Amino acid sequence: MNSRVLPLYATIAIFLVAYLICYLQFPAMLSTRVIGNLLTDNAYLGLVGVGMTVVILSGGIDLSVGSVIAFAGVFIAVMLRDTGLHPLAVFALLLAVTSAFGAAMGGLIHGLAMPPFIVTLAGMFLARGASYMLTIESVPIDHAFYDVLRSYYRMPGGGRLTLIGVTMLLAVVVGIILAHRTRFGTAVFAIGGGAQTARLMGVAVGRTTVLIYAFSGFMAGLSGIVFSIYTGSGYPLATVGTELTAIATVVIGGTILTGGSGYVFGTLVGVLTMGLIQTYIVFDGSLSSWWTKIVIGVLLLLFILLQKGLLILGQRQRSKMT
Amino acid sequence: MLLTIDNLSKTFPGTVALDSVRFDLKAGEVHALLGENGAGKSTLIKCLTGVHARDSGDVRLHGEPVSPGSTLEAQELGIGTVYQEVNLLPNLTVAENLTFGRQPTRFGMVSVRRMREDAKEMLAGFGLDHVNVSRELGAYSVAVQQLIAIARAVALSGKVLILDEPTASLDARETEMLFEVVRRLRERGLGIVFISHFLDQVFDLSDRLTVLRNGKHIVTAETAGMDRLGLIHHMLGHELDKAEDRRTTRSIRNERLHFKGLGRRGKIEPFDLTVREGEVIGLAGLLGSGRTETADILFGRTPADRGEATDPDGTIDLSNPRAAIASGFGYAPEDRKTDGIIADLSIRENIALALQARRGWAKPIPRGEQRALADDYIRRLDIRTSDAEKAVGDLSGGNQQKVVLARWLAMNPRFLILDEPTRGIDVGAHAEILKLISGLTDRGMSILMISSEFDELIAASDRVIVLRDRRHVSELVGDEIETSRIIAAIAAHDAEGAAL
């Protein structure tokens, strides 16, 4: 069996076992209500997660996404308050801005041969600063169209399948196709496997890098839109540290942090696992929400050890095979 | 002629890498390209494949002048290269690696089924029927990866195939597998440029050969009409009947270290070595013959996977450099800049480094003591510097080498390994280093010296061990140590016939 799929299977198994434990303790957790909320509550995280997965597959990192989400929220709120533009026009404008922002970071990373960590760290401060420039307060979004965006389909059992939840699922599907079924995706894996070799094999490394970060910027923008629908406001201090949560979900999803190996679908499972822990804490009622962080920390450690173990196993296997 | 190169010159700042070199290649032949380090082989290949732009000269493919500006362009022209380090991606599947850049798509999506079919087709005739193209490349051995790389190069380019040291990390069986494929490709009419340090392989596989030396074309000849001795003379450019300085052999002293059957698969065949007190052992051999590999094994840089090391007190642990240092070993590696010195640290800090490591970091050597130590060695080794606080990176090559030596001398090792101690050092410093080595043995230190310069080995060594194809093939003692015998040993056909 392909040893690289193992982390993905492990993630899925952990999610299912965790769900089973939750169900045994609180049978109410197996309902369309909980599942619907799981999707809705974590939609914004799933969206940045997809973008982050592609970035990490290429061996990079994007620390700017948390700030970009906040910027998106503030941008939308201020534009809707101060101009007469329709929300869809504002969304289009925003996505253009965040994609261009990502593309610019990708261009710097490739053009100046700078580590993505530093470039996107600068991007993180820039985007956060830009949101403060627009406003320093929480700006409520009060637009009739937003009520349309909050529409949902009532599933049997009373669960709400919201538009933003569906958006996240669609984004995951698009991400899967993009990463695993297109030449662009192969180029991303190639760069993650070794940029120098990828160049020798004919990958347009520069163009691909720009596209990767533009995609991440786009997904962060989309995530910001979804977050603004979810919270109904724009706040410059929102989603601090979300980039790190996104990285955690990607790694828990079985993608190797050094790049070149992983699955977009795994990130979805990673996001849902994280959401599940939070839901459990809510159900329990007596646990502090900090337990989420502790469980995530333990899970992360587990997956890093698993990946290291697989790596060693793979090397042993190779030395035997001819 | 499939490919002709005429008057190709390439200059890098400070050096002429290629000086009016010529080379040609027929369809359906294997043409070996030979030369020692710095001969210009890689530069020639890089000019041919578009990595470097040539300064002047004429390259023609099928009579048409070509000048590829990148590896990709060269590939499209029909010139494919396979390097020693497999330049494919281990994290992608075999099929993805083979079809990379040309994956069959449907509606913008890669058709996995057709990609697998294409890949299987490309692998046909390479004896790789057992390879599952859906597995990732990294799951297969280097030999299989190498063959897959060749399959890709052939499918992509299909006229000229350059094999740059393809067998360097393969064992005998894998090498034969590779040669089978190369012979089949030759029959299919490809022109193949074969670069290898292994002369046996060159004679085994190639139809013609070309020797470069110091960036100049030396000879092109039919392989069948060339004898080994002549070939090595062409490569090394040595004159045989030169008077040679010899170290006066001294009384044989106590045996100090025994290495029995040390070796590592894919690096160096098991060898036995006995080291006596106050003795200089020289290691001679062509590039890639296993000299540095021997040193790495003895110092635990790449631990041996068989054999044992003992001294009169018992077994010695050589599983890592730290253990080797604890047993009184020292090692000044070939690449001084990356492995030997820490350029940004001062002379004092560099010299104190190993000593401090042995004491443990909890017990820092007082600064005054470090200073005294550094001043002492600056005086004794005549390191030319304004003071001990100067960064080592600012010193000349010879003085840097002295700092590396000083670091090990401060440890007072019983066995010191020096890999190319005089490389890149001017003539004056050269002689000084050799004198220094001689002085050390007078005090009982045993030294293993690796050098490409036979004069130097002959002048300094009590014994010379000759290596060929990763094997210790011969040992010369006393008056036997002369250039002609070393060359003869390198040239000898089989391991047994080496001692002439």
Q: Regarding beta strands B208-213 and A233-234, do their DSSP bridges make them parallel or antiparallel, or are they unpaired? A: unpaired
ipTM, 2 dp? 0.83
**CA B475 to CA B480: how far, in whole Å?**
9
- A1 within a domain of the structure (yes/no): no
Which residue shows structure tokens 């008056």? B479
Question: Helix B142-156 to helix B172-187 angle, to the nearest 10 degrees?
Answer: 10
Supply the pLDDT for residue A198. Answer: 87
pLDDT score recorded for residue A2? 61
| Contact state of A261 with B101 under an 8 Å Cβ cutoff | no
Would residue A49 count as lying in a domain? yes
Q: Do A189 and B135 touch (CB under 8 A)?
A: no
What's the distance, CA A208 to chain centroid?
Answer: 19
Q: What is the CATH number of the domain that holds A96?
A: 1.10.3470
Give the minimum alpha-carbon distance from A281 to chain B in angstroms, rounded to a whole number.
Answer: 39
Mutate to test the interface with B, among A5, A189, A201, A312 (most CBs of B within 10 A): A201
Residues B471, B261 contacting (CB under 8 angstroms): no
pLDDT tens over chain A, length 322 residues: 466 777 888 889 889 998 999 999 999 888 899 999 999 999 999 999 999 999 999 999 999 999 999 999 999 999 999 998 999 999 999 999 999 999 999 999 999 999 999 999 999 999 999 999 999 999 999 889 999 898 888 888 888 899 999 999 999 999 999 999 999 999 999 999 988 888 878 788 999 999 999 999 999 999 999 999 999 999 999 999 999 999 999 998 989 888 888 999 999 999 999 899 888 888 888 888 788 888 888 888 887 787 777 767 766 665 555 4
- Is A188 contained in some domain? yes
Are A194 and B139 within 8 A, CB to CB? no
pLDDT value of residue A44: 96
- Using a CB-CB cut-off of 8 Å, the residues of chain B touching A194 are 89
User: Quick one: pLDDT at residue A212?
Assistant: 97
Say how far apart CA A160 and CA B22 lie, in whole Å.
76
Per-residue pLDDT of B34-50, as tens digits, reads 887 668 888 898 899 88
Q: Out of A177, A203, A260, whose CB is closest to B91?
A: A260
Give, in order, the Cα–Cα distances in Å from B32 to each of A215, A232, B165, B201, B213. Answer: 48, 72, 11, 10, 14
Per the CB < 8 A criterion, the answer to whether B477 and B463 are in contact is yes
Count of other CB atoms within 10 angstroms of residue B83: 18
Residue A320 lies inside a defined structural domain of this protein: no
Give the fold, CATH level 3, of B241-328+413-500: Rossmann fold (3.40.50)
Residue A30 lies in a domain: yes
Q: Which residues contact A297 (CB under 8 A, 6 or more apart)?
A: none
Tens-digit pLDDT profile for residues B274-304: 888 888 899 988 877 888 889 989 998 888 8
Classify B147 in phi/psi space as left (phi over 0), alpha (psi -120 to 50) or beta. Answer: alpha
Cα three-residue angle B44-B46-B49, rounded to 5 degrees: 110
Name the nearest CA neighbour of B306 among B260, B262, B259.
B262
Q: How do the domains of chain B map onto residue ranges?
A: 3-236, 241-328+413-500, 345-412
Tokens 């391991």 found at? B495
In DSSP terms, B192 is beta-bridged to B30, B161
Position A21 in a domain: yes
Of B265, B322, B313, nearest to B290 by C-alpha is: B265
Closest among A243, A239, A303 to A273, alpha carbons compared: A303
Residue A27 lies in domain: 6-314
Residue B389: CA count within 13 A, CB half-sphere: 2
Would an 8 Å CB–CB cutoff place A288 in contact with chain B?
no
Q: Is the dihedral of CA A282, A286, A290, A292 positive or negative?
A: negative
Between CA B323 and CA B329, with CA B325 as vertex, the angle to 5 degrees is 120
Total structural domains within chain A: 1
Please answer yes or no on whether B90 and A193 come within 8 Å at the CB atom.
yes
- How far is it, in rounded angstroms, from Cα A274 to Cα B77? 53
Torsion angle of the four alpha carbons B457, B461, B465, B466, in this order, in degrees rounded to the nearest 10 = 20
Task: Give the C-alpha separation, B37 to A160, whole Å.
Answer: 71
Which of B45, B79, B84, B92 to substitute to test the interface with A, most A CBs within 10 Å? B92
Q: With respect to residue A202, please indicate whether it lies within any of the assigned structural domains.
A: yes
Of A189, A197, A201, which is closest to B101 when you measure between CB atoms?
A201
What are the DSSP E strand ranges found in B41-189?
Answer: 56-61, 64-65, 79-82, 105-106, 109-110, 160-164
Cβ within 8 Å, pair A183-B110: yes
Same-fold call for B3-236 versus B241-328+413-500: yes
A203 in contact with B at a CB cutoff of 8 Å?
yes
User: Cβ B89–A198 below 8 Å, yes or no?
Assistant: yes
Domain presence at residue A221 = yes
What is the tally of helices (H) and strands (E) in chain B?
16, 22
Give the span between the Cα atoms of B33 and B208, in whole angstroms: 9
Pick the residue of A200, A313, A317 with the most B CBs within 10 A to test the interface with B by mutation.
A200
B→A contacts (Cβ < 8 Å), by residue, are 71-72, 75, 87-92, 96-97, 100-101, 103, 105, 108-110, 112, 134-136, 138-141, 143-144, 174
- List the strands of the sheet with B280-285, edge to edge: B329-332, B415-419, B446-450, B280-285, B463-468, B471-477
pLDDT, residue B11, reads 87
In this structure, which amino acid lies at residue B265?
Answer: R
The pLDDT of residue B239 is 52
Q: Across chain B, which distance is largest between two alpha carbons, in Å?
A: 82
Please compute, for residue A321, the number of CA atoms within 13 A of its CA located in the half-sphere on the CB side: 18
Q: Where are the beta strands (DSSP E) in chain A?
A: 139-140, 152-154, 160-162, 233-234
Write out chain B residues lying below 8 Å of A2, CB-based. Answer: 134-136
Ranges in chain B, pLDDT < 70: 14, 37-38, 238-252, 337-338, 424-428, 493-500
Q: Distance (Å) from the C-alpha of residue A303 to the closest C-alpha of chain B?
A: 19
User: CA nearest B82 in A: which residue?
Assistant: A200
The CATH class that applies to domain B3-236 reads alpha beta
Q: What is the pLDDT of residue A319?
A: 57
The residue to which tokens 């790789």 are assigned: B128
